[in-house]
């Protein structure tokens, strides 16, 4: 045991004499007196305590996973144009709800007309319509067409393009028929060929609200306009603009890109986001990238199919889908939609935001039409111009407040300030600890594994008498 203590004293004495921890040298320097060595030992202990405290405080701060927001603005020679959706504030055309004219509109089901009329009446009585299944085709027959809304429109990109044929029918809410330009979400083939716009190009439209063809009396006339990302589906929560007749409306768009941090930072309103990389878009393959709105629509569609066994026009459906009857629509589906609106984070729709999003800010200016630029039937029509403000894109990015480089620099600074230590000093200390452990463990192993040799027997002393 004495030999082990001697070897340990030799190992640590050599370390203290040669280490870069200058204060530790003075705790064992033989040229110093007992009092001076004691004072140095106290100083080293205090600085070691400060080092431990600052290191623990820094580690606790790191474990809070705070983040900082950095904003940068960059020029892009061209930008992808957003999806543009028009929804007339009145979804149905008075001329098509007239039962005497049904034959001119592909023989719409007269019971569908009755269903629409009852929805607008003060009291509902669906007793004779329980088995009616209003589907998208029947509803489309009763609503306005794109030719009714867009009287004239072109797009400079950079060639002039006529727009009417490029709008597709969408639904913002049940029975709210809309038309979307440059939307990719519902396309069966997902060819990622975005429509790019230069800063000096724009969309120009003459829009007709058809207020004289509203079938039900209303105090509001106009068109609901929604600007959204082409990959994002239309839904009831999409922010919208109401455009009224008799004006020249000009909308200038600014693009912003947001980059959030996922777990453990959860930088999007303290919620976990989804790290989504846009997949490689193959021609002819449907590979729509993940979006929050797409997740919501899919979730509501699955929930409706599961609980109600059918679908409605504003949810995901195809040719094989079974549309709900009037009873199923009002007794089941609409209850699910109301529940979702009142409780966005309901248990059946736990959708997460993507960690990367593109959003559009806009500025709307409206000027009344003057006599030298009068609209035809200005009580029902208006002009609309949509263009990018410029091609400067603001990127708002969340970054960790402390990263691995900060950990190394802070820890090195604390060690150097308190003890004059570095990473190499830690390696030296680790080497000394290993040597000490080896010195302690090996003799014990040797003692345990060595054979037990009995002590020698003392021989009896015999006195020999020489007598």
Question: Does position 48 have pLDDT exceeding 80, yes or no?
Answer: yes
Question: pLDDT tens digits, residue range 278-311?
Answer: 544 444 445 567 888 888 888 899 999 999 999 9
Arithmetic mean of pLDDT, 419-439? 75
Arithmetic mean of pLDDT, 263-291? 71
Arithmetic mean of pLDDT, 350-365? 90
Q: What is the pTM of this model?
A: 0.74
Cross-strand partners of 354:
274
Arithmetic mean of pLDDT, 397-416? 83
Average confidence score pLDDT of the chain: 80
Q: What angle do CA 48, 53, 54 make, to 5 degrees?
A: 100
Please name the residues in contact with 248: beta carbons below 8 A apart, sequence gap of 6 or more. 366, 367, 368, 369, 373, 382, 383, 384, 385
Share of the chain above pLDDT 90, in %: 21
Q: How many residues does the chain have?
A: 467
Q: Are 207 and 187 in contact (CB under 8 A)?
A: no
Cα-flanking dihedrals φ and ψ of residue 102, to 5°? -60, -35
Question: pLDDT tens digits, residue range 161-193?
Answer: 667 778 888 898 888 899 998 888 766 544 556
- Residue 245 DSSP label: S
Question: pLDDT tens digits, residue range 78-96?
Answer: 888 899 999 999 888 888 8
Q: What is Dmax (Cα atoms) for the chain?
A: 161
Q: Are 458 and 26 in contact (CB under 8 A)?
A: no
Say whether 292-353 and 71-91+144-288+355-400 share the same fold.
no
Domain borders along the chain are 2-64+404-438, 71-91+144-288+355-400, 292-353
Least confident among 69-73, 152-156, 203-207, 270-274: 152-156
Fold entry, domain 71-91+144-288+355-400: Acid-sensing ion channels like fold (2.60.470)
Q: Kindly report the CATH number that applies to the domain delimited by 292-353.
A: 1.10.287.820
Could you tell me if residue 3 is left (phi over 0), alpha (psi between -120 and 50 degrees) or otherwise beta? alpha
Q: Which residue has the higher pLDDT, 77 or 109?
A: 77
């Amino acid at each position: 045991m004495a030999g082990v203590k001697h070897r340990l004293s030799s190992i640590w004495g050599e370390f203290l004499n040669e280490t870069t921890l200058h204060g530790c040298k003075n705790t064992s320097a033989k040229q110093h007196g007992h009092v001076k060595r004691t004072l140095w030992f106290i100083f080293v202990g205090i600085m070691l305590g400060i080092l431990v405290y600052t290191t623990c405080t820094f580690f606790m701060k790191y474990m809070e996973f705070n983040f900082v927001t950095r904003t940068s603005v960059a020029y892009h020679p061209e930008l992808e144009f957003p999806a543009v959706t028009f929804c007339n504030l009145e979804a149905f055309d008075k001329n098509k709800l007239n039962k005497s004219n049904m034959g001119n509109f592909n023989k719409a089901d007269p019971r569908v007309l009755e269903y629409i009329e009852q929805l607008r009446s003060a009291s509902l009585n669906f007793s004779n319509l329980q088995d009616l299944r209003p589907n998208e085709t029947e509803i489309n027959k009763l609503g306005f067409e794109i030719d009714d809304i867009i009287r004239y429109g072109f797009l400079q990109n950079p060639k002039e393009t006529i727009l009417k044929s490029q709008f597709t029918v969408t639904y913002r809410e049940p029975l709210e028929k809309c038309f979307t330009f440059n939307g990719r979400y519902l396309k069966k083939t997902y060819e990622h060929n975005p429509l790019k716009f230069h800063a000096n190009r724009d969309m120009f439209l003459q829009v007709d609200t058809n207020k004289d063809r509203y079938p039900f009396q209303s105090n509001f006339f106009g068109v609901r306009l929604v600007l959204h990302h082409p990959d994002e589906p239309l839904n009831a929560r999409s922010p919208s603009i109401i455009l009224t007749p008799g004006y020249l409306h000009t909308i200038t768009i600014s693009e912003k890109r947001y980059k959030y941090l996922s777990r453990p930072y959860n930088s999007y309103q303290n919620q976990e986001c989804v790290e989504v990389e846009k997949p490689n878009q193959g021609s002819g393959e449907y590979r729509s990238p993940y979006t929050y709105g797409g997740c919501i629509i899919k979730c509501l569609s699955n929930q409706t199919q599961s609980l109600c066994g059918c679908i409605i026009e504003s949810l995901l459906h195809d040719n094989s889908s079974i549309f709900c009857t009037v009873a199923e629509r009002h007794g089941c589906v609409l209850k699910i939609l109301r529940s979702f609106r009142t409780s966005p984070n309901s248990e059946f729709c736990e959708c997460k935001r993507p960690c990367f999003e593109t959003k559009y800010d806009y500025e709307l200016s409206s000027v009344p039409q003057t006599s030298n630029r009068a609209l035809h039937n200005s009580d029902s029509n208006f002009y609309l111009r949509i263009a990018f403000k410029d091609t400067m894109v603001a990127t708002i990015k969340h970054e960790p407040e402390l990263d691995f480089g900060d950990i190394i620099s802070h820890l090195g600074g604390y060690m150097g300030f308190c003890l004059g230590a570095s990473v190499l000093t830690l390696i030296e200390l680790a080497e000394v600890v290993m040597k000490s452990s080896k010195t302690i463990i090996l003799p014990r192993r040797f003692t345990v594994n060595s054979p037990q040799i009995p002590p020698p027997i003392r021989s009896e002393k015999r006195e020999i008498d020489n007598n």
